[in-house]
Amino acid sequence: MALLRMKGVQAEAAGADAAAVEKAWTLALARAARDEMAVALSLQDFRAGRRTLAELVEMLPEPALIAALDEGTGEATGCVVLDGAVMAGMVEALTTGTVTAGPARRPTRTDAALLAPVLDRALAGFEAAAGEAGLVDWARGFRFAATVEGGRGLSLLLEDALYRVLEGEVDLGSGARQGRMLLAVPDGRAPVVLPKAPEADARFAEDLAAQVAEAKVRLDTVLLRLSLPLGAVMGLQVGQELALPRADIGRISLEGMDGRKVGAGRLGRQGNLRAVRLTAEETAGMAELPALRVEGL
């Protein structure tokens, strides 16, 4: 008997909360429409419930303006959805001052930019009313963040969790336009807090530096850049000698694998090996022309 009595109390509380949410959201929308668009808006056939993200995506009308909401953290956590007919009527009210009957249409970025202040005003009013009614799960500072392309985009943007969903039929302009509207917010989740950046690991940095220091880097020594006609280059044969009249072993260019010059030196020997002695960089006379390169000296 006690269990049944407890369930009855919980159901009564849930019903009271739903009624308070309906009143707060309906008044917030009506006032935002009046103040921002100078048009009458009412919400009818109100339904509140909990839905998974997959179920929420299945509920989306087509076409529709899907506005992602955040809580001031830069992370989308909820959404407002206006079907194409209501969205077109609201834009018409903002641009022409009247609402006429017409077909639904797909939203544009201009539509989203025009309606963002209306939605933010409604959300601010809803937040204030929900806070006064003690509905802390709804008073979370939700505001317009960005538009989303379809249900697939919404499923990729939002967290796969449970959502509180408010759904109703909007009447705009005293019957001139009618259509569906959805509001979805996280179900009782704590306010989003961005994760704290981990402290830098000095040992990791030292190990990384040691690994990088041991990495091998290839350098090419360029004695001379020589420009030849394509036909001459195509006719080169193994063993053929090329005259290098301007070559100077005292002016060697050191280049990386991307062809960028990183140093200069002069050609010499160390024991039985050819070597390059690094010198102050000399850029004069080093023509930056695409040509034949003599490498690997």
Of 136, 76, 146, the C-alpha closest to 109 is 146
The whole model's pTM is what? Answer: 0.58
CATH architecture type of domain 10-186: 3-Layer(aba) Sandwich (3.40)
169 in helix, strand or coil? strand
Torsion of CA 25, 30, 32, 37, to 10 degrees: 150
Burial status of residue 4 (CB atoms within 10 A of its CB: 0-12, 13-18, 19 or more):
exposed
87-143 pLDDT, tens digit each = 999 999 999 999 998 889 999 999 999 999 999 999 999 999 888 888 877 777 899
CB 117 within 8 A of CB 93: no
Of 67, 47, 51, the C-alpha closest to 154 is 67
21-63 pLDDT, tens digit each = 888 999 999 999 999 999 999 988 888 899 999 999 999 999 9
191-227 pLDDT, tens digit each = 444 445 555 567 777 777 777 777 777 778 887 777 8
210-220 pLDDT, tens digit each = 777 777 777 78
Alpha-carbon distance of 248 to 219, in angstroms, equals: 19
| Helix (H) or strand (E) segment spanning residue 179 | strand 177-186
Q: How many C-beta atoms lie closer than 10 Å to residue 135's C-beta?
A: 17
Partners of 266 in the β-ladder: 277
Domain limits of the chain? 10-186, 213-234+245-293
In CATH terms, the fold of domain 213-234+245-293 is: Surface presentation of antigens (SPOA) (2.30.330)
